[in-house]
A and B are shown apart, each in its own frame.
Chain A
Amino acid sequence: MTDEPVLEVRELRKEYRVRTSRAEAVPAAGSALLGHAVTRRERAGVLVAVDDVSFSVSPGQSLAVVGESGSGKTTVARMVVGLERPTSGTIMVSGRERSWRHVSSRERRRRAREVQIVFQDPYSSLDPRMSVRASLDESLRLHFDWTRERRDERVAELLDQVGLDRRQANSLPKALSGGQRQRVAIARALASEPRVLICDEAVASLDVSIQAQILNLLSDIRDATGVSYLFISHDLAVVRQVSDAVLVMRRGRVIEAGPTASVLSEPSDAYTKQLLAAIPRPGWKPTPSNS
């Protein structure tokens, strides 16, 4: 592996067109309607969800993007994985620039092999009629031209890697707990041997005891495979645990960036300080956030 970034994002920008009247009356409700982070209103009718965001991720690195609701972090993730088209800016994966014109299905598959995403709600991303084993096998068939035998071997390996047993492998998603489903989603994402795994609030809805298991799992997987993470989260404690570097976003912009350890122990931006100060911990007393 070289030190060349596996993912490089330059001056990324995303605008959403919205009906002016609604945007003007209630920007907050506008964001709920679109289901995306819609934060700043520059011209009437245009909401800038992501504004001039640049970062790079090297192989095996874990970069976290933190921010509160509406900060634009999920929109960044969706653009990187190709679910959303940037208004401007570039996204380079393994040194190749992503173009949004004439993407063949073969090209789409190649991209999917490079970047995978795990969402907050594993249920919605799994086919309810497919057993865990079948769903992993499907993903392998899509990405590789392998024999049945080879796929079976790889399925067993993936199950092992995420800590699921035989019985669970034959279950449908509805027979699994939330933590187990998230393990399936992670295994499915890893099936294509991606270079970058995006985790979009992937542990946010899990119970703390399960969350700890998944965080440990993600760290084991990184050690074993050298995959890079783009870790989207609102939770600074989780971010401290899983990332080497962090971007703090607010209203579509990056307001602070650097190594996670230094940003979270000596934040320089007032908003980062405010976010940290709001986390309950021993001796903590709630204070007004003045925002």
Chain B
Amino acid sequence: MNVLEINHLAVELPVEGALRRVLHDVTLSIGPGEAVGLVGESGAGKSMASRAVIRLLPAGAAVHGDIRYSGDSVLAMDRAALRHFRTHDVAMVFQDPRAHINPVRTIGDFLLEALLERGERRDDARAAVIAVLAAVGVSEPERRLRQFPHELSGGLLQRVMIAAALAVSPTLLLADEPTTALDVTTQSDVMVILDARRRERGLAMLFVTHDLELAAAVCDRIAVLYAGFLVEDAPAGDLHRNLRHPYTAGLLASRPDPVAPRPRLAAIPGRPLSAFEVGAGCAFAPRCAFAVERCHLERPELRVLDAGRVACHRAEELAGQLALSPTPGGSE
């Protein structure tokens, strides 16, 4: 059975008295020990999708569709079940540790919270968090427990947040841009830690990032989100060999290469749309170099293709045409 199953998830949030669409249609599953990279540009809805999984959405949010953890409906959970789910089964790591760790409480208080809340003895909990701090490469773990967040660098604090997430031994980890604020070398360190947990404990992971290459390198599958729609879901290994969606291809081509620069980047024209701005038809149509009339009129359904799924009317036709190494000036 899948650890996580998200079916036709749609989310609306209250904005100035009215509900505004932030997610249109997200269908996604994660098997035991599997890592899925959820990628997309700013505002695509990555954070909202991952927060919806633990029902951590802003007040007044309207959620449609179905979210299941090991077969149980998360949306149907009562208070007690939700609390159990959040303290035993799932854990979340956020992009900005300073915004999510209470500055006036010690690192120890922060780390012990979830374990004490679920009724573990203080001594056991303390031993457990010290062990997990050491495992994520935090030196002098005992001393850290007495320190306050401002006494730690950003990289160290992010490790603390990851330690807090891992301390509850979750089955599912939701990591929302856990390395975006970090230097590349620190990012590499953090990914080593998460990788090891996956191998050793079979941790399943939803890894949210805007970095397609990072997701492809550390995840089994890649799910691409655009303007609130899941537009492609493919094995990570296919990313460079077998592109199916024009947006995914455009994202890859936009990124400069540190070793082999191109005379000119094949930038996607225009800007990413927010979910609420999307009209009829394919959300990507206004920016898509391959759009035809049908694209502007009819919304493409997410459908199975090869080893993945894609939402594009022209996916079969375009197979092999989506430049893997884009030509200069291609789409601008």
Show the binding face of A for B, using Cβ within 8 Å. Answer: 25-26, 28-29, 32, 68-69, 177-180, 207-213, 215-216, 219, 234, 236-241, 264-265, 274-289, 291
Query: B254 touches which one: A209, A274, A284 (CB < 8 A)?
Result: A209
Tell me how far the C-beta of B328 lies from the nearest C-beta in chain A, rounded to whole angstroms: 10
29 contacts between A and B (CB under 8 A): A29-B153, A180-B271, A207-B272, A209-B254, A210-B267, A212-B265, A212-B266, A213-B269, A219-B264, A240-B257, A240-B261, A241-B256, A241-B261, A264-B258, A274-B185, A276-B258, A279-B258, A280-B216, A280-B217, A280-B218, A281-B258, A282-B217, A284-B213, A285-B217, A286-B187, A286-B188, A286-B195, A286-B217, A288-B188
Residue of A178, A210, A238, A286 with most chain B CB atoms under a 10 A cut-off:
A286
Nearest residue, chain A, Cβ from B151? A26
B332 at the interface (CB under 8 A from A): yes
A-B contacts, CB under 8 A, total:
138
Encode contact with A along B212-248: 1 for CB under 8 Å, 0 otherwise: 1110111000000000000000000001100000000
Tell me how far the C-beta of B168 lies from the nearest C-beta in chain A, rounded to whole angstroms: 23
Encode contact with A along B129-159: 1 for CB under 8 Å, 0 otherwise: 0000000010000000000001111101000
Is the Cβ of B259 less than 8 Å from the Cβ of A264?
Answer: yes
Is the Cβ of B151 less than 8 Å from the Cβ of A207?
Answer: no
Show the binding face of B for A, using Cβ within 8 Å. Answer: 41-42, 137, 150-154, 156, 183-189, 191-192, 195, 210-214, 216-218, 239-240, 250-251, 253-259, 261-262, 264-269, 271-272, 287, 332
Also in contact, A208 and B192, with CB within 8 A (given A69-B183, A265-B259, A280-B211): no
Is the Cβ of A68 less than 8 Å from the Cβ of B213?
Answer: no
A210 proximity list for chain B (CB < 8 A): 267, 271-272
A280 proximity list for chain B (CB < 8 A): 211, 213-214, 216-218
A177 proximity list for chain B (CB < 8 A): 271
Tell me how far the C-beta of B15 lies from the nearest C-beta in chain A, rounded to whole angstroms: 16
Nearest residue, chain B, Cβ from A25? B151
Also in contact, A286 and B264, with CB within 8 A (given A28-B156, A209-B41, A234-B184): no
Tell me how far the C-beta of A50 lies from the nearest C-beta in chain B, rounded to whole angstroms: 18
Is the Cβ of A275 less than 8 Å from the Cβ of B210?
Answer: no
CA distance A276 to B187 in the complex (A): 13
CA distance A215 to B212 in the complex (A): 19
Nearest residue, chain B, Cβ from A219? B264
B211 proximity list for chain A (CB < 8 A): 280
Is the Cβ of A29 less than 8 Å from the Cβ of B150?
Answer: yes
Also in contact, A237 and B187, with CB within 8 A (given A25-B151, A207-B42): no
Residue of B195, B211, B261, B262 with most chain A CB atoms under a 10 A cut-off:
B261
CA distance A277 to B189 in the complex (A): 12
Is the Cβ of A238 less than 8 Å from the Cβ of B256?
Answer: yes
Tell me how far the C-beta of A72 lies from the nearest C-beta in chain B, rounded to whole angstroms: 14
Is the Cβ of A68 less than 8 Å from the Cβ of B185?
Answer: yes
Tell me how far the C-beta of A221 lies from the nearest C-beta in chain B, rounded to whole angstroms: 14
Given A215-B256, A277-B188, A281-B258, 7 other A-B residues pairs in contact with their CB atoms under 8 A: A209-B271, A215-B267, A219-B264, A237-B257, A240-B258, A280-B216, A289-B188
Is the Cβ of A286 less than 8 Å from the Cβ of B192?
Answer: yes
A207 proximity list for chain B (CB < 8 A): 41-42, 210, 271-272
Also in contact, A281 and B217, with CB within 8 A (given A209-B254, A238-B256, A275-B185): yes
